[in-house]
Amino acid sequence: MAAGDRRALRSLYLAYYPRLFRFVLRMTRDSGLAEEVVNDTMLMVWRGAAAFRGESRVSTWIIGIAYRRALKALAARKRRLPAVGFEREAVDGRESAPAVDPVAATVEVQDWIEHALDGLSPEHRLTLELAYFLGESCEEIALIADCPVGTVKTRLHHARIRLQRHLLEHATPHAAVSGGGTGNVTRRGST
């Protein structure tokens, strides 16, 4: 590809597009913007292929570009749109919490977690998504985000603390982290 081989780029694009698109889409929830970020990323890969020295894995390099493009896109969107945070969860306010249907509870906690993730800062959210969605190691995330390993640990620590705190504030008392692996977490006030 460094020699300008479009077929090589096409193979790379088709191989990475699904993963990068979903990675960015999870944070933007905007397919147009996600595709734009992926295309910007691949354009930079195309232009920078000759300069790539192989000091990291190709995937780390590509995801690192996508990480920076996604951060930039999120920052630009934040300037245009009002912030979406944890507060939107609190409006779902009915008092009683009836008996928990395990399947419904699992779906609901997934819904809760997804919304809670939206309340994280872009850096915290991206770090968590790199670890859990893309399954990157701590060291790889440090390379992707171009920051020290300690920063990765700190960001992830704060992201998890915030999610757990939100869970404790908005979930029923028997649920949350006291579930002992059962996964029965329900939102306070949910039906």
Partner 1 sequence: MSETLADGLSDAPADCARVDAALPWFVNGTLPAADRAVVAQHLERCAGCRQRASFETQLHDTVRATADGAGQPAAAEAQAAWERFAPQLEPAPGSAPSVSQASVRRSPGLRVRRLWMIVGAQAAALVLIALVLVVRETQRAEPVYRTVADAPRTITNAADRVLLRLVVAVDLPVTEVRRLAAEVGAVVVEGPSAEQVYTLALDKDRSAGAAMQALRVRRGVLLAEEVAR
Residues in touch with partner 1 (CB under 8 A): 1-2, 4, 6, 9-10, 13-14, 17-19, 21-22, 25-26, 32-33, 35-36, 38-39, 42-43, 46-50, 109-110, 113-114, 117, 128-129, 131-133, 135-140, 149, 153, 156-157, 160, 163-164, 167, 176-183, 185
**Residues 6+ positions from 125 with CB-CB distance below 8 Å:** 27, 117, 118, 159
Q: In angstroms, give the least distance from the CB of 102 to partner 1.
A: 13
Cβ(187)–Cβ(92) below 8 Å:
yes
C-alpha to C-alpha distance for 55 and 169, rounded to whole angstroms? 44
Least distance (Å) from partner 1 to the CB of residue 121?
16
Task: For residue 9, give the 3-state DSSP assignment.
Answer: helix
Name which of 98 and 181 has its Cβ closer to partner 1: 181
Candidates 8, 36, 1; CA nearest to 20 is: 36
Of all residues in the chain, what percent are helix, strand and coil, respectively (each to 5)?
70, 0, 30
Nearer to partner 1, 50 or 90 (CB): 50
Phi, psi of 12, deg, nearest 5: -65, -40
Tokens of 11: 């193979």
Nearest approach, Cβ of residue 97 and partner 1 (Å):
19
Nearer to partner 1, 19 or 92 (CB): 19
Which CB, 1 or 94, lies closer to partner 1?
1
- In angstroms, give the least distance from the CB of 169 to partner 1: 14
Least distance (Å) between residue 2 CB and partner 1: 7
Closest listed residue to residue 130, CA positions, set 45, 39, 19, 47: 19
> Toward partner 1, which CB reaches closer, 43 or 75?
43
